[in-house]
Amino acid sequence: MRIEAAAAAPKTAAAPASRRVDTTFDKFHDRYSLRTLGLKTSPVRALFAVANRPEVVSLAGGMPNIADLPLDVVGASLRELVDTHGSVVMQYGSGQGEPDFREHICEVMAVEGLIADPDDVTVTCGSQQGLDLVTRIFCDPGDVIMAESPSYVGALNTFASYQADVVHVDMDDDGLVPESLREKVAAARRSGKSVKFLYTIPNHSNPSGISQSVERRREILAVADELDLLVVEDNPYGLLNLDEDPLPTLKSMDPDNVVYLGSFSKTFAPGFRVGWVLAPSFVRDKLVLAQEAATLCPPVFSQFAISSYLTHWDWRGQIRSFIDMYRIRRDTMLASLAEHMPEGTTWTRPSGGFFVWLTMPGAVDSAAMLPRAVTKLVAYTPGTAFYADGRGQRNIRLSFCYPTPERIKVGVERLAEVMREELEIAETFELADGRRRSRDLGPGPNLA
């Protein structure tokens, strides 16, 4: 049924031209592409506005803590850039990204032992755009992408926007389970689906906090090779190792079959919106075409700004100082969880990155619990956000990156209190109902 813009206010001569006219119906509602109709609004978005109030401890967002950055140094170098290179930095640039900047990117990757040629790098607007371009060049509607369970919500949204279907692969403490990958790819292919790639976050995954062991990396690459499956490695947290040196990247272990996504958002600043894709040359050519179609070129000013930062500042030392700060926050969160969480709750112990993944005992639904948690002045991200198939009800993603250690302690204590109350209610009602206590809210990995 076509719904006209019934509620559009009649134009009157008296109405000032600039006044906004609110309509009840979107008069374009029947014109959006199927791709757009597949995009989902987060059911918890409205709550996040409340969660951002200062009295609420938010363990929800994944914003890096950039308070430590030398803003005076960055400010002075931006000024200098405008003074000395103004006509270049404010001009269009290369669709692939500035050549000098791509060399700097290779220096950053070398810290993880990934030796790359600047020619194989395509600069993007954050690794989020890298995900978008990779999906754009590989996926048609109905194609299948294999992903961890749980997986990064921003990637799931991108995949949905290209109408690709996500199949979640099982995980354990060492990351994605190779046998599950083999089985699920085979099942998808048997049903006539084209499986385009495996999307994986091997280091300190968002949201699970889990890292793949080196042995597991080898096994995953061997299965991918056996199945002729491209691997897309998303690695924004690879340099934020809180306990140990970086593990080898999948890309360094199998250069020809891995497309690697990197980002400056977690090791410098997300506001510049700069990331990159390192890909085999044929793929790189397609990425550059897709980048030109999308943006003409990635932001030139940002690329020069980051080059200047990398040249004039001890960025390796800066990353070490970020690591020290995040380690204190991670340790505070883990200690607080151990002290306060109700019996039967489990959680992961990340060796880096920003996130802890918590599994609640009993029949409690984390999305339904969120409004009550916010009323008690604590916020988190419900686990369902990280699955394309509705799982994750018993799970919660907690971020330790942004709040101070004091706020983390308070937040975890409040969350534990809310969980206790919810568990009590669930128990009471289930017993009163005469039902068994094991109401199935989905498997939810129990990875602690």
Ligand X SMILES: Cc1ncc(COP(=O)(O)O)c(C=O)c1O
User: By the criterion CB under 6 A, which residues form the site for ligand X?
Assistant: 62, 126-128, 152, 154, 201, 206, 234, 236, 263, 265, 270, 275
Determine how many CB atoms are found less than 10 A away from the CB of residue 300: 20
- Rounded distance between C-alpha atoms, residue 377 and residue 149, angstroms: 29
- H helices present in 111-152, as ranges: 126-138
Q: Token pair of 237, please?
A: 């947290």
Residue 382 to residues 211, 267, 399, 411: CA-CA distances in angstroms?
Answer: 21, 26, 12, 15
Q: Taking the complex as a whole, how short is the minimal distance between the CB of residue 112 and ligand X, in angstroms?
A: 15
**Which of residues 196 and 204 has its CB atom nearest to ligand X in the complex?**
204
**Which of residues 152 and 347 has its CB atom nearest to ligand X in the complex?**
152
**Which of residues 108 and 423 has its CB atom nearest to ligand X in the complex?**
108
**Which of residues 235 and 384 has its CB atom nearest to ligand X in the complex?**
235
Contact partners, residue 297, CB within 8 Å, separation at least 6: 92, 93, 94, 95, 97, 291
Q: Taking the complex as a whole, how short is the minimal distance between the CB of residue 65 and ligand X, in angstroms?
A: 13
H-run or E-run covering 259? strand 258-263
Closest-CA residue to 135 (of 187, 198, 91): 198
Q: Taking the complex as a whole, how short is the minimal distance between the CB of residue 51 and ligand X, in angstroms?
A: 17
Q: Taking the complex as a whole, how short is the minimal distance between the CB of residue 129 and ligand X, in angstroms?
A: 7
Question: Which residue has the closest beta carbon to ligand X?
Answer: 126
Q: Taking the complex as a whole, how short is the minimal distance between the CB of residue 2 and ligand X, in angstroms?
A: 38
**Which of residues 62 and 382 has its CB atom nearest to ligand X in the complex?**
62
Q: Are 74 and 85 in contact (CB under 8 A)?
A: no
Q: Are 148 and 208 in contact (CB under 8 A)?
A: yes
- Rounded distance between C-alpha atoms, residue 443 and residue 177, angstroms: 16
Residue 12 class from Cβ within 10 Å (0-12 exposed, 13-18 middle, 19+ buried)? Answer: exposed
**Which of residues 326 and 422 has its CB atom nearest to ligand X in the complex?**
326
Q: Taking the complex as a whole, how short is the minimal distance between the CB of residue 178 and ligand X, in angstroms?
A: 21
Q: Taking the complex as a whole, how short is the minimal distance between the CB of residue 329 and ligand X, in angstroms?
A: 16
**Which of residues 353 and 445 has its CB atom nearest to ligand X in the complex?**
353
CA dihedral (110, 113, 115, 121) in degrees, to 10, reads -60
**Which of residues 111 and 335 has its CB atom nearest to ligand X in the complex?**
111
**Which of residues 128 and 252 has its CB atom nearest to ligand X in the complex?**
128
Q: Token pair of 240, please?
A: 């934020």
Q: Taking the complex as a whole, how short is the minimal distance between the CB of residue 322 and ligand X, in angstroms?
A: 15
Q: Token pair of 446, please?
A: 């129990």
- Rounded distance between C-alpha atoms, residue 381 and residue 261, angstroms: 24
Q: Taking the complex as a whole, how short is the minimal distance between the CB of residue 363 and ligand X, in angstroms?
A: 30
- H helices present in 22-70, as ranges: 34-37, 45-51
**DSSP count for the chain of H helices, then E strands:** 14, 15
